[in-house]
Amino acid sequence: MHQLAVFGNPIGHSRSPEIHQLFAKQHGLEIDYEPIFVPPGEFVRYAEQFLEGGAKGFNITVPYKNDAYHFAEQCSNAAVLAEAVNTISVRKGVIYGDNTDGAGLMKDISANLGWTIKDKKVLVLGAGGAVSGVVSNLLAGAPSTVEILNRTLSKAVAIVEKHNDPRVRAIEVPNDAFDVIINGTSVALQGASLDLPTSIITPKSCCYDMSYGNKAFLSWCADSGVSQLADGLGMLVEQAALAFNIWFDVQVETADVIAALRQ
């Protein structure tokens, strides 16, 4: 029995245990994957205790991805760029941190949805932890530009400065329409909605909400005639598939898992 977990706060809503059990079944592996509620300030103590018990690793969700980045002894390039870790694994006694969020988003966008961002104008809404974890992966998809719009401009500027790439810009007021619009804000968690100008969207835009469950952003896009819409369930499953691969070095099928979760 392999010990795994996801650490977060809140954690009750997490679908990761279900996803990883479906992956394990595909390979006849037995896993004990538990959601662990971590009180504020307790991340390191909980993480150390969990690994001392012989665990294979664990996932990390809001708000501990940056704590996990500092906790890891070695990190992947993706984790360093994001300053955030969503997957911890133990390799020959070394605690290794990775970030599969950006790769998971790109896998969902290109392989599952069949969208391309090559030469496209991309608008990213938000500049928090979720967005900083995916910008480098978006750039690797060769867009013409990645513009970041955030309520607090300075946070968008900080992401731009970190990437040092002329294609990435922080914007205060969007003037143009965009080919791809990605919502990376946590506005839905507060039951609120974004106040966006309709000039940014056309019926041909592809609109992606990195969160799932709250329909406000995608409904707003649909009202503008957009038909290419996706929530973040595919990203959630794809980032989990990449984490599963880190732990067990096996590929998993994701289409059936996404379909099972949708039901």
CB 86 within 8 A of CB 101: yes
Nearer to ligand ATR, 187 or 241 (CB): 187
Q: Is 194 in the site for ligand ATR (CB under 6 A)?
A: yes
Selected binder of ligand ATR within 111, 142, 192, 250 (CB under 6 A): 192
Stretch that binds ligand ATR, among 102-110, 120-128, 165-173, 229-237 (CB under 6 A): 120-128
**Whether residue 92 lies in the annotated active site:** no
Of 56, 65, 92, 107, the active-site residue reads: 65
Which residue's Cβ lies closest to ligand ATR?
A: 128
Stretch that binds ligand ATR, among 11-19, 31-39, 93-101, 179-187 (CB under 6 A): 179-187
Q: Is 155 in the site for ligand ATR (CB under 6 A)?
A: yes
Selected binder of ligand ATR within 14, 59, 137, 150 (CB under 6 A): 150
Task: Report d(CA 249, CA 263) in Å as an integer.
Answer: 28
CA nearest to 140, candidates 78, 207, 233: 78
43-47 contacts at long range (C-beta below 8 A, 24 or more positions apart): 43/7, 43/67, 43/68, 43/71, 44/71, 46/7, 47/7, 47/71, 47/88
Query: Mapping DSSP to helix (H, G, I), strand (E, B) and coil, where does residue 91 land?
Result: strand
Distances (CA, A) of 8 to 3, 37, 73, 76: 17, 6, 20, 21
Task: Report d(CA 141, CA 90) in Å as an integer.
Answer: 30
Selected binder of ligand ATR within 62, 90, 171, 216 (CB under 6 A): 62
Q: Give the interface size with ligand ATR as a residue count (CB under 6 A).
A: 16
Selected binder of ligand ATR within 60, 85, 127, 226 (CB under 6 A): 127
Q: Is 159 in the site for ligand ATR (CB under 6 A)?
A: no
Q: Which residues lie across from 5 on neighbouring strands?
A: 34
Distances (CA, A) of 96 to 29, 52, 119, 135, 209: 22, 15, 34, 22, 29
Q: Is 174 in the site for ligand ATR (CB under 6 A)?
A: no
Cβ 91 to ligand ATR shortest distance, Å: 26
Cβ 64 to ligand ATR shortest distance, Å: 10
Q: Indicate the length of the chain as a whole number.
A: 263
Segment 195-234, which members bind ligand ATR (CB under 6 A)?
Answer: none
CA 59 to chain centre: 12
CB 203 within 8 A of CB 68: no
Cβ 158 to ligand ATR shortest distance, Å: 10
Cβ 154 to ligand ATR shortest distance, Å: 8
Q: Is 86 in the site for ligand ATR (CB under 6 A)?
A: no
Question: Token pair for residue 1?
Answer: 């029995």
Question: Token pair for residue 218?
Answer: 């995608």
Nearer to ligand ATR, 130 or 139 (CB): 130
Catalogue the active-site residues.
65
Residues that bind ligand ATR (CB under 6 A): 62, 126-130, 150-152, 155, 185-187, 190, 192, 194
